[in-house]
Structure 1
Amino acid sequence: MHHIEHIEKIDPEIANAMKNELNRQKNYVNLIASETYA
């Protein structure tokens, strides 16, 4: 995650948000219900 380390130097708050989002995507599955038309 070299790019996040670079962003962290410029804007730590944005880097933290990015880390949290990457962690969320890695650890959770979001199921989205779809509609079926017949």
Structure 2
Amino acid sequence: MLLQTANNAEAIITNCIYLLHFIVYSIDSTKKDVILTSF
């Protein structure tokens, strides 16, 4: 049972990291678009 919980926690952390990377990437892309359109 403890192993199952550890696996779940690891999966949740991994998902959070992926989500964080996706958000940062999205913000970066948006910034680039804004910079490109402002010139």
- Give the alignment's TM-score, normalised by structure 1: 0.46
Which has the greater radius of gyration?
A: 2
- Greater percentage in helix: 2
